Amino acid sequence: MIKLIGVTKVYKTGVKALSEMNLTIDEGEFVYVIGPTGAGKSTFIKLLYREEKPTSGKVIVANRDISKIKNRKVPYFRRNIGVVFQNYRLLPKKTVFENIAFALEVIDTPRKEIRRKVLSTLELVGLEDKANAFPHQLSGGQQQRVAIARAIVNRPKVLIADEPTGNLDPETSKGIIELLDEVNRLGTTVLVVTHDRDIVQSYRKRTILIENGCVTSDTSAGGYVSWHES
Ligand code: ADP
């Protein structure tokens, strides 16, 4: 599903964010990506949804070489990928329903189908009674559930969550990871970038450690991996 072959990313400033990185993630996997600040985690993720291109090497996502996708084709490519961020990034003046529907409207889905898909996704994330609420009327955990609903309503092949529990208390965080686990069980490949050691140790999954732009540890059993915050 995801393959990086000798990927190096040097930004215009001369900073080398990734250095000859190699990695394979198969369809249906659930993977944590951990590592210190500045290690290259965000750069890695930006390559996956073609926010950035590699300087050299190959990035293959859903059978596409992302360097070869023309700019005008990027929105179509991104239908394969859902992304969730630490700060939810919901549209504040739109209701929960509208926030999720928006992801479908931009790709011309008929109205009836939008309604059906949004409501069934809201049910999956446990917020069927919040369709008409506005983001500010929800707790952080509920807002993250809406963001996850928006990210998966198109049934993407891959869901990327960048610090999804960064703003949440431990109990709420657990609920979010359990939801991501359920999304994974329904067939979506899930990548979770996290600093949350409790989560990594409690819900054991393959854990990839990135340091200095390389994968320095990759444990399929998951659990504790020692790393230092800089
Ligand atoms: P992480 O997500 O692990 O904190 P990043 O991928 O954000 O790491 O950053 C890796 C390195 O690349 C850092 O040295 C960072 O300062 C640098 N970097 C990230 N984005 C840019 C950018 N757009 N332009 C220049 N340097 C960048």
What pLDDT score was predicted for residue 104? Answer: 86
Task: Give CA torsion, residues 112, 118, 124, 130, to 10 deg.
Answer: -120
What pLDDT score was predicted for residue 230? Answer: 47
Our answer on whether the CB atom of 193 is closer than 6 Å to any ligand 1 atom is: no
Q: For the chain of 230 residues, list the mean pLDDT of each consecutive stretch of 10.
A: 97 98 96 95 96 97 94 91 95 97 82 94 97 98 98 96 95 96 97 93 94 93 59
What single letter denotes the amino acid at residue 217? S
- Give how far Cα 74 sits from Cα of 66, 71, 118, 200, Å: 9, 5, 24, 32
For 98-111, give one letter per residue: b (16+ CB within 10 A) or e: bbbbbbbeeeebee
Asked if residues 143 and 136 have their Cβ atoms less than 8 Å apart, the reply is no
Cα(204) to ligand 1 centroid in Å equals 27
Q: Do the strands 81-85 and 189-193 form a parallel or antiparallel pair, or are they unpaired?
A: unpaired
What pLDDT score was predicted for residue 20? Answer: 97
Asked if residues 222 and 206 have their Cβ atoms less than 8 Å apart, the reply is yes
CB atoms within 10 A of CB 83: 21
Cα(128) to ligand 1 centroid in Å equals 38
Q: Where are the domains of the chain?
A: 2-219
Nearest residue to 106 (alpha-carbon basis) of 151, 146, 80, 75: 75
Q: How far apart are CA 7 and CA 76, in angstroms?
A: 23
What pLDDT score was predicted for residue 226? Answer: 63
- Give how far Cα 127 sits from Cα of 131, 136, 163, Å: 7, 15, 21
Q: How far apart are CA 179 and CA 201, in angstroms?
A: 17
Our answer on whether the CB atom of 43 is closer than 6 Å to any ligand 1 atom is: yes
- Can you read off the two tokens belonging to residue 218? 């990759």
What pLDDT score was predicted for residue 224? Answer: 56
What pLDDT score was predicted for residue 165? Answer: 96
Cα(211) to ligand 1 centroid in Å equals 12
Query: Exposed, middle or buried by CB within 10 Å (0-12, 13-18, 19+), for 92?
Result: exposed
CATH, domain range 2-219:
3.40.50.300
What pLDDT score was predicted for residue 38? Answer: 95
**Based on C-alpha coordinates, what's the Rg of the chain?**
17
Our answer on whether the CB atom of 40 is closer than 6 Å to any ligand 1 atom is: yes
Our answer on whether the CB atom of 35 is closer than 6 Å to any ligand 1 atom is: yes
Query: Exposed, middle or buried by CB within 10 Å (0-12, 13-18, 19+), for 77?
Result: middle
